[in-house]
Amino acid sequence: MVAYWYQALHSPFGIELICSDPEGARSRLYAARKAAQDAELNSIAITSSPFDPAKLWLVKKAARPPKPTNAPGGY
């Protein structure tokens, strides 16, 4: 299961998994990520496909823009 995390990590946006038991797969995926103890894998999120309930997406989390400061120009 950890191979799916690394496949998503090294793809441009993430991957799609087709599952007969999406909730069971989600649980096993989270357990595999925890066992891997690799902080890089935390940049990947699991979400259900809005188009097909039998699919899970492992997608890269969006990068957050920097917080504005009091410096000139807002950054």
Ranges of each domain in the chain: 2-62
* Residue 44 near residue 5 (C-beta atoms within 8 A): yes
Distance in angstroms (rounded) separating the CA atoms of residues 6 and 43: 11
Phi, psi (degrees; rounded to nearest 5) at 68:
-65, 150
Q: What is the pLDDT of residue 51?
A: 93
> Mean per-residue pLDDT for 3-10?
96
What per-residue confidence (pLDDT) applies to 14? 93
| Residue-level pLDDT at 72 | 61
The SS3 assignment for 55 reads strand
Q: Per residue in 19-69, pLDDT tens? A: 999 999 999 999 999 999 999 999 999 999 999 999 999 999 875 556 666
* Residue whose C-alpha is closest to residue 15's, from 73, 56, 52, 72: 56
What is the spatial distance between Cα 60 and Cα 8, in angstroms, rounded to a whole number?
A: 7
- Confidence at residue 62, expressed as pLDDT on a 0 to 100 scale: 79
